[in-house]
Amino acid sequence: MRAVIQRVLEASVTIDGKVVSKIKSGLLILVGIVEEDTKEDIDWLTKKIANLRIFNDENGVMNNSLININGDAIVVSQFTLQASTKKGNRPSYIKAAKPEVAVPLYNQFVSQIEAELNKKVGTGVFGADMKVTLVNDGPVTIIIDSKERV
């Protein structure tokens, strides 16, 4: 499971002209799922994201987590994070999990991050054509892959 985490001043997800999620200060979390992902990947990744110290403290040092600042989050499924660009110029998405595997794992990820943060998070709609807007704060953008944790 791969995640791109962006510290944002605000973010939103719009589908068919309707805003379905909107936050102020917090994280926009893009998640790419592969067939081999498990509950263990979800547990590790959600804990890592919730506790990642990428928000400034009173001295301007990145020392606070999303939990510390009581920030908000939006989680968006993005299969293109699993793209392979090794051969040719057209990315291959063969590693991305099929919907029958990815949807339950995505839903588990959302539930688990909500449990870690002790609050509801915004989401996109799996498989929808989404327009994601954000104001990246910093900019701070971090990529985390649960398969590279050891």
Which positions are annotated as active-site residues? Answer: 80
What DSSP string runs through the chain?
-EEEEEEEEEEEEEETTEEEEEESSEEEEEEE-BTT--HHHHHHHHHHHHH---EE-TTS-EEE-HHHHT-EEEEEE-GGGG-B-SSSSSPB-TTBPPHHHHHHHHHHHHHHHHHHHTS--EE--TTS-EEEEEEEEEEEEEEEEGGG--
* Alpha carbons within 13 A on the beta-carbon side of 43: 3
